[in-house]
Structure 1
Amino acid sequence: MHRLGIIIPRRGAATASATKKIVIQPKIKRGPTELLEALAATVGPDPTAPHFAFIDDPATIPSQAATKRNYLLAKELGRRAARGLAEEWPTLFAFDREVPRLDVFRPQKTLDPALMEPTESKLDELIEARRVEDAAMLFEKMRGDNVEVSAKAQRKLFLLLTYYGGKNPPTFENIEWHALRVFGVDQPEWKADLIELLYETLEKDAEIKSAMICGFSKYKAGDAKALSIFKEMQAAKEVPHIEAYNSLIASLKPNQSGELLKSMADNKLQPNVDTFNSLLVALKKSFHAEAGPIKKIKEFSRVLGEMKQLKIQPTLHTYAIILSAFYSPPPMERDTKTPDTGKSADKAAGITALAEFLQVLEKAAKVELHGIHDHTFFTIAMKICQDCGNVDMANRVLSLYTDARNEVKMPAFTYENSFYESYLLLNIETAVSLDELEKVYKKFVPNYVGISRWLVYRMLNKLRDQDHWNLSRRLIEDSINAQHLEVASIAGRLRGLLIGLDFTALSPFQREEFTMLVRKMVDVWIEYSRFKDERKKRKLTFSTVIESALLLTRIGDDAKALDLLQLLFDESATTGEEASVDTAGFVHDRRLVELFDHALRQKNVEMATVVLELMSRFFSKAQLQYQASRLSERCGLNKDQTRIIEGFIRLRPQ
């Protein structure tokens, strides 16, 4: 009974626990998005998110900007092809019965305007959908069938055609297909036939004439025609729309801007921020190459003063136009004949202007988006910081861009890649500590910045004078992933970087990493040399073989090093259509001496004699005799072996 009392609780205890009340807390009233907002505030935005679009298979994650472009476009074009198949043959999916039904998997084929009923309602649908070319085709069909089109519909069609130049909307306006929006390039084109027909047909009021002026200016279809229409409106006492003035100011000669501004004042037309942006563009074009920063600052300050007086807030595009006047690309990106007069003064003026703009933006409650060119402010600002070597200012620009208050974002993989690349290159040039540089490099590569050859060269220059295994290993691995080992200049410098490292100073774990990395690099070069495709094939050069063998001896793989050296004497590897080794070339004497010294230390006579024969291509007889005496002494050669080596040296041509 005592034992059962332990296992079975007493009746009184069970009753007490049963009578305990459970209090249910009242429901907390929350909005439909409060939980999502709380999660967003906790997690925060992930600026590397675009890079994760590539992570389907680790083997296919791209490391270069061009590869990212091709990968993203391939994925998107594959989806477009699948949608095209579903649109063309919908009966193939007729027996699918998914619940709930997903319309995204049942795309409807866009009806050809040639098969549409020629009615004004159909025309309105095409105009609302911004199917510019289809709307133009249907309108032509309606004209051919003598279907009457109201003046209102013709006006809407005319405004659509002038805005897009008679072509479909450009790819950067594409909402659904992100890759085409980012990487698509559309040449501006003006299809004048139907536009001019509608212009002659419609009643030419201020709106129609202003739209025509904007179209001519936007697509560079005829500045003289745009100015002629403007003068007609002036003669008829008509007031052009503000957009017409803005287009003319930006497209005409700078000395004509004053007349246009005076006309706006006479018509009591209030300028907007686009007016002043157009004026700044005109001012920038008016500056000659010899124009100094003082003149530029004076003109720009006058415009900014007018904006302040009219209580018009400058946009990021306003600041970008001003900064671009003080920035000139480095010599590699422009004509080297361009004079550099006043470049230092422009640098100082540019960084000063940037500091003032940042002071304003950092105090703003929100950095709002006003136009498609606003994001150029960040790229130009970072270029100026890089040009001036100002890391503190670059950190302020980066902080502003990543701030939650900033609503202006650059297109990923294009402008954003350039922005972060400039920031990284600036840190490479100015970094004092390689530990700090390692943090910056690992943060931005490859998620933000692709592994370009230019970046690898910059990093190699930085690592040339200081040993830093972790950063060197990461750079080499990134170069392998980006397929830069096929570039002879990069491959040679990477081998030199590893040869220059103090192997004895590495920890046991780092030595293991060193060993694996060397074997991987050598395997890559051997694989390149065996490609059947001549375009991809990269033969093993003399320097590649010697330096690779030297690295293999560092990790204790003398057998593979010897096999690699003997390829230089293998006729099947050096001659014929399938040759994988090119014996021509040059290697520094010290590499051969290091390899020879290693063979002597290991008393490896076979390797030493092979290296001695390779030395005979570059060394004098006196140098060879000295090395031969070392070989005989260290390895204890007998008289016959010594006589053979001496005979080889004696018969060698001087």
Structure 2
Amino acid sequence: PHRVQLIRAGICGYSTNTEEKIEIPKRIPRGPTDILRALGSTVGRDPTAPHYKYHDDPYLIPMSNSGKRTFAMAQEAGRKAAHWIRREHADLFQHKEADPPIEAFMPPMIYNEQSEVVVDDLQTLVNTAQVSDAKLVYKLLKQKNVEITPDLEQSLLELLCYQNCEDGVSEEFIEERWFKQSKKAREKVRKTWKDDDLAEEIFVSMENKTPEAYSAIIQGMVKYYQVDRAWQLFEEAQQKNLTLNTNTFNALICVSDFIKEDFEMRWNLVTNLLVQMKDSKLKPNLGTLNAVLQSLSTMGSSISARQNTLKTLAEFKNLGIEPSLASWYFVIMTFCKEQNKEHTIRDLRDINFFMSAMDISRHHLRDVNLAERVNKLLHHGDNYNLIGDSYKESIYFRHYFALLCTNLPIEEFMAETYEKLVPHIYVPEPGIMEEVLKQVDANGAVEYIPKLWSDMVVFEHTYRENLIESILNIMANNEQLVNSELNERFAYIAWDIYNRIENQDENRISKLNFTGDLLGKIMTLLLRNNEFDKAWTVMEKLDKDQQKIAGVPKLEALARFVDQCIEQKAPSKAITCIQYCSDCGFPEANILASKLNDKLTLDENFLGRLSKIVGDVTFGKIKESA
């Protein structure tokens, strides 16, 4: 009883003395796709599988860069056709696909010169960035003397300046944007601003030009490289004591190399603009940092440019502005530095970082370890979204591939890099494929030749003369490393090369021509695998077209053919080869004729043919012994 009471007392004491606190954790905001992202993070990229946009069918999966582009653009062309049908036949799409209705699923409004429009129509078009329709509706409203509010006119001006008065590619057409950006990156920088278009008309028509209007028109002109006119408007705004926004100063700093050619004058211009920002009490932002670094990157690799780069980074660090990948893109021309964390795009120029970082790793530092670190950073989290476009992606992997190819053991490179990246992530260009073949040759790794030839066929590299010569040289010059299985595969490759050159399209612009050395190597590879009939076809080609074919085979190839003729007891074909040797000026033709006569019993017809080739004096002893 006493024990029970003690237990009860203990329980009561415990329950009364302990205060239970329920702590409700802070709510974490979740998006509609967070669960999918969490699941997706558990699965890495499968390098052996094609991109999801390609059909999972071996006969439809593109393997070359041009094939990937064609496939993706054709697929997008189908979507464009669907959009066109919906737009042209809007009367057929009156059913409700969603309730409440989703604007994106509805056919767009079509405007023409007879359309009855109101200000709200213009507001909607500006909000949805439909430039062509916005221009038309604005002109219709002006013709009807409809008053447009200053705010709406300013919004329209900003849209026109940003888009250069033309429609951009819809966000729905991802592939077109992907490939169009890559084309734009390769274009030479030039003025594309549309002079005297609606943007300038609106700006000129404004009675009281506001700082916002000046900022919009200057930024638009700078973006499309109408730099001289933009600078004039900037000076005009300064004379009127108008305070322009930070982004306008950033834009002008970016094109300082167009305004001033001398490095010192250019840096003075940048510092003057920064001082004006300070006097106007404008706070710099990340765009300011990147604009200054971009300007410094155009000033060569002088000591002053490097020092100013470091000073700029330190100054903006004190301001609490963290650099983005675009910042490091401008820095790595001299300094290579990366941070191993997940990045988000904070500046449109962030997409230049990875391509340039890998370029520096390959050409400037030749550092495999640094290249691996950059590649690890690229594949960390969602950083791959910052690769840019198809062109930058291809350049990035070209540098990465070439660096590892020349610095890693060939076995490690083929297993860890080539097999994982080719062909679904990267298709080697002919120059890179030639580098791979050089490394295979240098390391005697002839077992990789069948795989490489198979890929060359898929990538449409089989009409590249340098690649054909390289692969034939490797197969022909490494006989001591080849077993019977490889002999068979090499013979197949050699015969495939012969047929591709022989049967190529007559209308092909850059045709691949036979050479004597090339045919000699093909014949050698066929003879090693005892494919005498095919070797005879090659010999016939040499004999019949010797006036068209540049160069001659090596004597070893011709001697091997004569030996095979002796084994096959085919003296007529051997005599054809000896005749070819004599015509090409080989003094060893006599030796081959003597060998043929010693090994085979020749009749008078064959002896007579040999006599005409090597001469009676040289051949006299052969006749007597016969």
TM band (smaller chain): 0.7 to 0.9
Q: Could you list the per-position Cα deviations for residues 101-144 of structure 1 after superposition, in whole angstroms to 9, with x for gaps in the alignment?
A: x9999873651343532211111111111111221122112222
253-262 or 643-652, which deviates more:
643-652
Distance in 1 between the 2:589 and 2:290 partners?
Answer: 74
* Identical-residue share of aligned pairs (%): 24
Distance in 1 between the 2:197 and 2:426 partners?
Answer: 45
Distance in 2 between the 1:471 and 1:83 partners?
Answer: 48
Q: Could you list the per-position Cα deviations for residues 203-247 of structure 1 after superposition, in whole angstroms to 9, with x for gaps in the alignment?
A: 322211221221222222243x43343334434433211011111
* Equivalent position of 2:620 in the other structure: none
Q: 1:406 to 1:155 in 2, by over 3 A?
A: same
In the alignment, which of 216, 220, 227 is matched to residue 221 of structure 2? 216
Alignment of 1:165-314 (within 5 A): 165-169=164-168, 171=169, 174-184=170-180, 185=183, 188-202=192-206, 203-223=208-228, 225-252=229-256, 253=260, 254=266, 255-287=268-300, 292=302, 294-314=303-323
Q: Does 1:462 align with 2:439?
A: yes
- Counterpart contact for 2:405–2:413, Cα < 8 Å: no
Distance in 2 between the 1:444 and 1:544 partners?
Answer: 31
In the alignment, which of 347, 351, 363 is matched to residue 371 of structure 1? 347
Distance in 1 between the 2:77 and 2:616 partners?
Answer: 67
Q: 1:651 to 1:547 in 2, by over 3 A?
A: farther
76-85 or 31-40, which deviates more:
31-40
* Equivalent position of 2:554 in the other structure: 588
Distance in 1 between the 2:237 and 2:195 partners?
Answer: 24
Distance in 1 between the 2:497 and 2:64 partners?
Answer: 19
* Equivalent position of 1:524 in the other structure: 500
* Equivalent position of 1:393 in the other structure: 370
In the alignment, which of 575, 594, 598 is matched to residue 629 of structure 1? 594
Distance in 2 between the 1:105 and 1:270 partners?
Answer: 38
Q: 1:303 to 1:96 in 2, by over 3 A?
A: closer
Alignment of 1:498-647 (within 5 A): 498-502=475-479, 505-506=482-483, 508=485, 510=486, 513-528=489-504, 531-533=505-507, 535=509, 538=512, 540-569=514-543, 582-620=548-586, 622-638=587-603, 640-647=605-612
141-150 or 496-505, which deviates more:
496-505
- Cα offset, 1:624, TM superposition: 1.1
Q: Does 1:494 align with 2:467?
A: no
- Cα offset, 1:503, TM superposition: 7.3
Alignment of 1:103-182 (within 5 A): 108=107, 111-169=110-168, 171=169, 174-182=170-178
Unaligned 5+ segments in structure 1 are 1-29, 327-352, 576-580
- Cα offset, 1:316, TM superposition: 0.6
In the alignment, which of 357, 368, 371 is matched to residue 381 of structure 1? 357
Distance in 1 between the 2:147 and 2:433 partners?
Answer: 66
Distance in 2 between the 1:95 and 1:214 partners?
Answer: 42
Q: 1:205 to 1:96 in 2, by over 3 A?
A: closer
Q: 1:104 to 1:604 in 2, by over 3 A?
A: farther
Structure 2 residue identity aligned to 1:277: N
Query: Secondary structure, in 3 states, of the residue corresponding to 2:530?
Result: coil
Q: Could you list the per-position Cα deviations for residues 443-462 of structure 1 after superposition, in whole angstroms to 9, with x for gaps in the alignment?
A: 22222222321112212221
- Cα offset, 1:603, TM superposition: 4.3
Distance in 2 between the 1:472 and 1:208 partners?
Answer: 64
- Cα offset, 1:490, TM superposition: 2.2
* Equivalent position of 1:341 in the other structure: none
Q: What is the TM-score of this pair, normalised by structure 1?
A: 0.78
In the alignment, which of 373, 380, 393 is matched to residue 416 of structure 1? 393
Q: 1:108 to 1:610 in 2, by over 3 A?
A: farther
Structure 1 residue identity aligned to 2:293: L
Structure 1 residue identity aligned to 2:278: A
Q: 1:536 to 1:243 in 2, by over 3 A?
A: closer
Q: Could you list the per-position Cα deviations for residues 404-440 of structure 1 after superposition, in whole angstroms to 9, with x for gaps in the alignment?
A: 2636421453211111111110012212343434432
Q: 1:106 to 1:599 in 2, by over 3 A?
A: farther
Q: Could you list the per-position Cα deviations for residues 118-175 of structure 1 after superposition, in whole angstroms to 9, with x for gaps in the alignment?
A: 2111111111111112211221122223333232321211121122222223x4xx42
- Cα offset, 1:597, TM superposition: 3.6
276-285 or 497-506, which deviates more:
497-506
Q: Could you list the per-position Cα deviations for residues 545-604 of structure 1 after superposition, in whole angstroms to 9, with x for gaps in the alignment?
A: 43333222222221122133224455xxx69xxxxx944443333332333344345444
Query: Secondary structure, in 3 states, of the residue corresponding to 1:122?
Result: helix
Distance in 2 between the 1:99 and 1:257 partners?
Answer: 53
- Cα offset, 1:369, TM superposition: 1.6
Distance in 2 between the 1:582 and 1:57 partners?
Answer: 44
- Cα offset, 1:36, TM superposition: 3.3
Distance in 1 between the 2:146 and 2:39 partners?
Answer: 57
- Cα offset, 1:301, TM superposition: 0.8
- Cα offset, 1:532, TM superposition: 5.0
Structure 2 residue identity aligned to 1:423: Y
Q: Could you list the per-position Cα deviations for residues 165-208 of structure 1 after superposition, in whole angstroms to 9, with x for gaps in the alignment?
A: 22223x4xx42112210122468433433222222333322211
* Equivalent position of 2:327 in the other structure: 318
Q: Could you list the per-position Cα deviations for residues 43-76 of structure 1 after superposition, in whole angstroms to 9, with x for gaps in the alignment?
A: 2345777645344653454333233323322332
Unaligned 5+ segments in structure 2 are 1-29, 185-189, 261-265, 618-626
Structure 2 residue identity aligned to 1:558: F
- Counterpart contact for 1:116–1:122, Cα < 8 Å: no
Q: 1:435 to 1:251 in 2, by over 3 A?
A: closer
Q: Could you list the per-position Cα deviations for residues 261-311 of structure 1 after superposition, in whole angstroms to 9, with x for gaps in the alignment?
A: 111111222111111211122223334xxx53x333211111011011111
Distance in 1 between the 2:527 and 2:387 partners?
Answer: 49
- Counterpart contact for 2:131–2:165, Cα < 8 Å: yes
Query: Secondary structure, in 3 states, of the residue corresponding to 2:197?
Result: helix
Structure 2 residue identity aligned to 1:181: R
Structure 1 residue identity aligned to 2:117: P
Distance in 2 between the 1:49 and 1:138 partners?
Answer: 49
Distance in 2 between the 1:401 and 1:237 partners?
Answer: 46
- Counterpart contact for 1:381–1:397, Cα < 8 Å: yes
Structure 2 residue identity aligned to 1:278: A
RMSD of equivalent CA atoms: 3.5
Distance in 2 between the 1:201 and 1:615 partners?
Answer: 87
Query: Secondary structure, in 3 states, of the residue corresponding to 2:536?
Result: helix
Query: Secondary structure, in 3 states, of the residue corresponding to 1:456?
Result: helix
Q: 1:107 to 1:35 in 2, by over 3 A?
A: closer
Q: 1:592 to 1:32 in 2, by over 3 A?
A: same
Structure 1 residue identity aligned to 2:606: Q
Q: 1:49 to 1:103 in 2, by over 3 A?
A: farther
- Cα offset, 1:321, TM superposition: 0.8
